[in-house]
Structure 1
Amino acid sequence: MDANAGNDYEPPANWGTLKPGQAVQVKEAGHADGTGIIDNMTPDGAVVWVWITGTSPRRMFLAGDPVAILPEQETPAAF
């Protein structure tokens, strides 16, 4: 396995618009949709930490993860 595999990911386009403190909708394959608050993110937007409402503490998402993190007002009807 290539030790550098996965390092070529670019953050999803919508992650670049996210800001700490922003309310978001989290749509993750195989999980119920959730809402949360952006806690922090790396300067390049490749890693985002979200406080998920009503579940586990803060979660970390990587740009290559099968997840959509959308500002609440931009949530599509289906994912």
Structure 2
Amino acid sequence: MTLQKNRPSSRPAHWDDVEIGDAVHLVRNGRLEHAGRVDNRTADGAVVWVVSDGGRRQLFHVADGFELSVADPEGANHADN
């Protein structure tokens, strides 16, 4: 008999689908905890830096337990006028 660990299938191994400038939401335990724009990320997508609207820059690692999603996929790289 083989034991299998239960792993959340919805949590990606890396956040390599986000780009610098994307507006993102970081959700943990079903609750929006952070929102902002991607300021930078590692090439492997394991770490992103997000700047909130208030200017606070924070680092997030994929293992921190957040689900990261693009908040505005159509206009993520466009400035509001």
Question: Which interval holds the TM-score relative to the shorter structure?
Answer: 0.5 to 0.7
Aligned-partner residue type, residue 40 of structure 2 = N
TM-score, scaled to structure 1: 0.62
Aligned residues: 63
**Unmatched runs of 5 consecutive residues or more in structure 2:** 1-10, 74-81
What is the root-mean-square deviation of aligned Cα atoms in Å? 2.8
Give yes or no for contact 1:34–1:53 (8 Å, CA) kept in 2.
no
Corresponding position: 1:18 with 2:42: no
Q: Which runs of 5+ in 1 are unaligned?
A: 1-10, 75-79
Q: Does structure 2 conserve the Cα–Cα contact (< 8 Å) formed by 1:14 and 1:70?
A: no
Q: Which has the higher helix share?
A: 1
Divergent runs of 4+, >6 A: none
CA-CA distance at 1:33 after TM superposition: 3.4
Q: Percent identity?
A: 35
**d(CA) in 2 for partners of 1:32 and 1:47?**
18
TM-score for both structures, normalised by structure 2: 0.61
Report how far residue 34 of structure 1 moved: 3.3
